[in-house]
A = this chain, B = another copy of it.
């Protein structure tokens, strides 16, 4: 764990006010984007955070950068849950994880759905890469337990899951369809 009280290129500590403002901006952005969608003006975020607009742009040079940071923040919370599932020994945990992932994406629709609308580079697929270590473990265990086909690899599974989550959010699938889509996919992935 590197202390985030030191700058990227090492050297001096990051100033206390800068750390504080960065946190405030992220918090404000999450709230503003959740309320107004990602097309909300950056001024609104600055106002809510109680800083000048220039400060927002110092920390996040472009709007996509800001949105990306917000999403990565949300993702951190998910990772914790995924790691908890790794500790279970259930070979079917992989499927439970897929369901968890999709429900999480759906519940954050307000933010995720708008990401696509504004030229953001954040893709669910990129975000999922961070979950990969956990997925690898879950997949291997499922394979060993005979719960999925032998030839399934995580760099195939992750894009598939990403595709479903992305589209579920973007096209506003209802819960029945989300569940059904996962069932169809996972059913097909089980050992033949």
Task: Collect the chain B residues with CB atoms within 8 Å of residue A168's CB.
Answer: 163
Asked if A125 is at the interface (CB within 8 A of a chain B CB), the reply is: yes
User: With A and B bound together, what is the CA distance between A189 and B162 in angstroms?
Assistant: 19
Do B162 and A171 touch across chains, with their CB atoms under 8 A apart?
yes
Whether A180 and B163, one on each chain, are in contact in the complex, defined by CB atoms closer than 8 angstroms, is no
Main secondary structure of the interface of A (DSSP, over half): helix
Q: What is the CB-to-nearest-CB distance from A182 to chain B, in angstroms, rounded to a whole number?
A: 10
The yes or no answer to A185 lying at the interface (CB within 8 A) is: yes
Query: Are B170's CB and A123's CB within 8 A?
Result: yes
Nearest chain B CB to A23 CB, angstrom units: 29
Cβ contact of A160, chosen from B118, B120, B156, B181, cutoff 8 A: B181
A170-192 near B? 1/0 per residue, CB < 8 Å: 11010001001100110111001
Residues of chain B contacted by A164 (CB below 8 angstroms): 160, 163
- A positions within 8 Å CB-CB of B: 39, 116-120, 123, 125, 152, 156, 159-160, 162-164, 166-168, 170-171, 173, 177, 180-181, 184-185, 187-189, 192
